[in-house]
Amino acid sequence: MSRSSGNFKVVLSIAVALILGCAHGGGARAGFDFSRGTPMEFLEHLRNLGPGRVVTITEPLTNWVRRENVEELVARLDSREPCAAVVQGHSSYLPLESTVGDE
């Protein structure tokens, strides 16, 4: 498997986590409109909310992360910049802090 293929799978895993764990059915909830915003804009939104905040996602959002988003998302995988955490509504884990790279 090539590095780019491996990176795509990592980002795809992140994207699935974001889609399953971060989407509010495409509407403007948690201060972010998934029907208009991009994954990078969502990460910026999480940064602006800041550490100590938690965004809870309750419904899946399909086809939100696109192939053209992958390179930018991969570039931020190692980011340690603090941001709000994202959790699935049915999760039993509540993080106290998070980073752009984690989200």
Tell me, what's the pLDDT at 11?
Answer: 54
Tell me, what's the pLDDT at 81?
Answer: 93
Tell me, what's the pLDDT at 24?
Answer: 38
Give the Cα separation of 28 and 99 in Å (integer).
23
Dump pLDDT digits (tens) for 50-90.
988 888 877 777 788 899 999 999 999 999 999 988 887 77
All residues at 6 or more sequence positions from 97 whose CB lies less than 8 Å from its CB, including other chains: 51, 52, 82, 85
Question: Per the structure block, which two tokens stand in for 95?
Answer: 């993080």
Choose the weakest-confidence range: 16-20, 32-36, 44-48, 69-73.
Answer: 16-20
Tell me, what's the pLDDT at 2?
Answer: 46
All residues at 6 or more sequence positions from 64 whose CB lies less than 8 Å from its CB, including other chains: 15, 18, 19, 23, 34, 39
| pLDDT greater than 50 at residue 28 | no
